[in-house]
Chains A and B, each alone.
Chain A
Amino acid sequence: MSRHDFTERDLHLALDRELQEDERATYENWLQAHPDMKARAARYQEDVERLRTATASFADEPVPERLRALVTEKGARRRARMLRGWHTAAAAAFLLVGLGGGYLVGASGWLRIDPQSVRLAESAIAAHNVYSAEKLHVVEVGADQHEHLVRWLSKRLDIPLVTPDLTKHGFALVGGRLLPQGDQRAAQFMYEDKDGNRVSLYVARNAIPRDTGFRFVQEGSTRAVFWMERDYGCAVTGSVADARLPTIADDAYKQLLAGMKT
């Protein structure tokens, strides 16, 4: 009843209305007798009020359609999933291209970004940054030996690869190389436009088969669109300034998938 051993901890209990009812009066007396504690309690109180003020408007904002649709509509999950992560105007343009595409089927599960996907994106960006900067040694095997390049990398990755034709986006194949990704193998195909801009396609085998929709990641001035297609993961990587990237990724996705089937 008559507790006199209040401590700083009780400032928080009082602030959060967790003090026992019969302790409140004693607490108030104690506070009057300890001006330093009283001042501290006032500052904490002030911070709590600032925090409430700062966050109050968040709950008043209209709920985004993608969240509402998720709860109200059946089958809205896949579409909503595609909309995540795309926060830029370039991304919005891409979505218009992509929404009708067949890859929506691949979007499932609730994980935001699984470690395997993160590794893929990181490796693809690192490889792009290293090799797209090269003048003379951009690739290991050039496009002039196209057939050999595709056969070789397909064999190493144990995936029937194709080199997507990106000429309608202004990019021509320079060639490709074999790369390590953890203890697995990965392939990188490098493309170049007439102005010397480079875009690379990175393909690696998945340790755990998985399907995802397109994801977007940016590191420094490099941007990548990446996805998982059962046994393999892909990333299309290029410069941030290149608005063509999402469209290219969409096209590459379709051509790779068609290539697997034939």
Chain B
Amino acid sequence: MDDRRKAILEEIPGLRRYARALLRDRDAADDLIQDCLERALSRLDNWHTGENPRRWLFTIMHNIFLDQVRRDRRHGVDRAVALDAREAQAVPAVQSGAAESLEILDALQAISPDRRAAILMVSVEGFSYAEASAILGVPAGTLMSRIARGREDLRALLETDQRRRSIRVVEP
């Protein structure tokens, strides 16, 4: 295996973390990564080893994600996961006692794809604003407003959840 393929292979865990948080569903996330890898491999000759493989792959993946979002919007496609698949993947998270994790991942799904991607790139993947702007293909100002608005959205959703829970507790 050549060095470039090796470098790509090493980035897969990071791509999966991002895609899982972005799409929530494991299979959909792996499909996105598969599309990304296929496209990356088909353009291997365009990629120079000097270029950061992580940034390169995230850029490719984000472009594919955007295409999907546009297509879904246009056709109103319901990417429904079979119920059994969704239940199956919820089990490990519940077992590890991470109700809080489930809550924030669900809340993340409720905010716009643009803001979701911006938050994840910066907060989870640790890209600088300059790197994230380049990957997302937007000016720094746009990125910053997506991050700020996205975090406000997230906060509002989580607070609503909290309120709802406290109401339920009071009920007889």
Q: Does B112 contact A (CB under 8 A)?
A: no
Known: A16-B129, A85-B31. A70 touches B75 (CB 8 A): no
* Chain B interface mostly: helix
Q: Are B41 and A47 in contact (CB under 8 A)?
A: no
Q: Does A35 contact B (CB under 8 A)?
A: no
B-binding segment of A21-29, A60-68, A196-204, A244-252: A60-68
Q: Are A67 and B148 in contact (CB under 8 A)?
A: no
Give the residues in chain B near A84, CB-CB below 8 Å: 27, 30-31, 34
Residue on A with the closest CB to B19?
A58
CB within 8 A of A219: which of B12, B78, B104? B78
CB within 8 A of B144: which of A9, A50, A67, A68? A9
Give the residues in chain B near A8, CB-CB below 8 Å: 148
CB within 8 A of B30: which of A60, A67, A115, A118? A67
CB distance from B139 to the nearest CB of A (A): 15
Q: Does B62 contact A (CB under 8 A)?
A: no
CB within 8 A of B81: which of A16, A66, A70, A87? A87
1/0 contact string of B39-54 vs chain A (CB within 8 Å): 1011000000000000
CB distance from A73 to the nearest CB of B (A): 9
Give the residues in chain B near A47, CB-CB below 8 Å: 104, 151, 154-155, 158
Q: Are B34 and A55 in contact (CB under 8 A)?
A: no
Residue on B with the closest CB to A89?
B84
Please tell me the number of chain A residues within 8 Å of chain B, measured between CB atoms.
48
CB distance from B79 to the nearest CB of A (A): 9
1/0 contact string of A80-117 vs chain B (CB within 8 Å): 11001101110000000000000000000011110100
What's the interface size class on B, roughly? 35 or more
Known: A18-B128, A53-B101, A115-B75. A70 touches B37 (CB 8 A): yes
Q: Are A43 and B9 in contact (CB under 8 A)?
A: no
1/0 contact string of A33-63 vs chain B (CB within 8 Å): 0000000000110011011111111111101
CB distance from A53 to the nearest CB of B (A): 6
Q: Are B122 and A16 in contact (CB under 8 A)?
A: yes
Residue from A53, A57, A219 whose CB has the most chain B CB atoms within 10 Å: A57
CB distance from B91 to the nearest CB of A (A): 13
CB distance from B69 to the nearest CB of A (A): 12
Q: Does A77 contact B (CB under 8 A)?
A: yes
Q: Does B16 contact A (CB under 8 A)?
A: yes
Give the residues in chain A near B80, CB-CB below 8 Å: 218-219
Query: How far is B82's CA from A87's CA once the two chains are assembled, in angstroms?
Result: 7
Q: Are B155 and A44 in contact (CB under 8 A)?
A: yes
Give the residues in chain B near A55, CB-CB below 8 Å: 17, 20-21, 105, 120, 124
CB distance from A152 to the nearest CB of B (A): 31
CB distance from B156 to the nearest CB of A (A): 11
CB distance from B105 to the nearest CB of A (A): 5
Give the residues in chain A near B21, CB-CB below 8 Å: 51, 54-55, 58
Q: Are A118 and B75 in contact (CB under 8 A)?
A: yes
Query: How far is B76's CA from A119's CA once the two chains are assembled, in angstroms?
Result: 11
Within 8 A of A (CB), among B100-149: 100-102, 104-105, 108, 119-120, 122-124, 128-129, 144, 147-148
Closest 9 CB pairs of A and B: A54-B101, A59-B17, A58-B17, A110-B38, A59-B13, A58-B20, A87-B85, A48-B123, A55-B21
What are 12 pairs between A and B in contact, CB < 8 Å? A12-B151, A18-B128, A43-B155, A48-B123, A50-B100, A51-B21, A54-B104, A56-B17, A70-B38, A72-B1, A87-B27, A113-B71
